[in-house]
Amino acid sequence: MTSRRSPARADLVRDACAAFGAVLDGLGDDDSWAATGCPGWSVRDLTHHCAMDALRGLVALHTPTTARPDRDAATYWTDWGGDPAGAAEARRHTRVAASMVLDWEPVRALHRETTRALVHAAQHCGDGAVRTQGHVLRVEDLLSTLAVEATVHHLDLIQHLDGSPGPAVDGLAEVRRVLTDLWEREPLEHWSDEHFARVGTGRAELTAQERAELGAHADLLPLFS
């Protein structure tokens, strides 16, 4: 069907996935065992996780509903970061699943194929609501969450890969928008989008000076992880 919705967020997904994939294209087998910013995950593990997230997006885009949305692009993230035991279990599950693939190329190919399919679906979907992970979101909000996920994990991907290209600029801007909505205040003026993404998701610690500038607002960080 023909979408009447602005393609902006579909483009965010496309660019975020393409930027992530560009890093993977430059990695060899030895690189695939490098550590990432996700505790306990190698590049292989993180790549598998992101392929599964793209698959989740595909399923969601093909699970329309007439139910009223109960989450938006920002409030979707309020479920993430409050369950350490569940997060640890998810990390173990990803490591086991990724370890079933012996070679690096099939893992990279899985990411490439699923993200291409996701981008195609995002560019041809309608304006309605869909179900995912026990919630109902409007399509445009789902696409935002997928772009944010890919962008934040891009930062994890390159943490120990010196010289690798960073996330898409528009993806980082979307992360900033979502974090700002959740925090209900603007970040410090001198923070770049990347720095805000890191501190806002617990991937970097605030300095003593930043804590002093933020006051009580610092205690609300990270906003999700």
Domain coordinates in residue numbering, the chain: 6-165
Classify domain 6-165 at the CATH topology level.
Answer: Four Helix Bundle (Hemerythrin (Met), subunit A) (1.20.120)
For residue 29, what pLDDT is reported? 95
Instruction: Round to whole Å and give the CA distance between 3 and 69.
Output: 19
Q: What SS3 class is residue 20? A: helix
Smallest Cα–Cα separation from 52: which of 118, 103, 100, 101? 118
- Name the strands in the sheet holding 129-132, side by side, starting at the edge strand that comes first in the sequence: 64-65, 129-132, 135-138
Helices of type H across the chain: 8-25, 43-61, 84-99, 104-123, 139-157, 169-183, 193-200, 208-214
Residue pLDDT tens, the chain, 225 long: 333 443 489 999 999 999 999 999 999 999 999 999 998 999 999 999 999 999 999 999 999 999 999 999 999 999 876 667 777 787 788 888 888 888 999 999 999 999 999 999 999 998 899 999 999 999 999 999 999 999 999 999 999 999 999 999 999 999 999 999 999 999 999 999 999 999 999 999 999 999 999 999 999 999 998
Instruction: Round to whole Å and give the CA distance between 39 and 87.
Output: 11
DSSP string, 196-223: HHHHHTTSSPPPHHHHHHHGGGGGG--S
Instruction: Round to whole Å and give the CA distance between 78 and 194.
Output: 21
How many other CB atoms are there within 10 angstroms of residue 100's CB atom? 8
Assigned token pair, 156? 């994890």
DSSP string, 137-154: EEHHHHHHHHHHHHHHHH
The rounded radius of gyration (Å) of the Cα atoms in the chain is 17
Instruction: Round to whole Å and give the CA distance between 126 and 10.
Output: 11
For residue 6, what pLDDT is reported? 38
Assigned token pair, 15? 């660019």
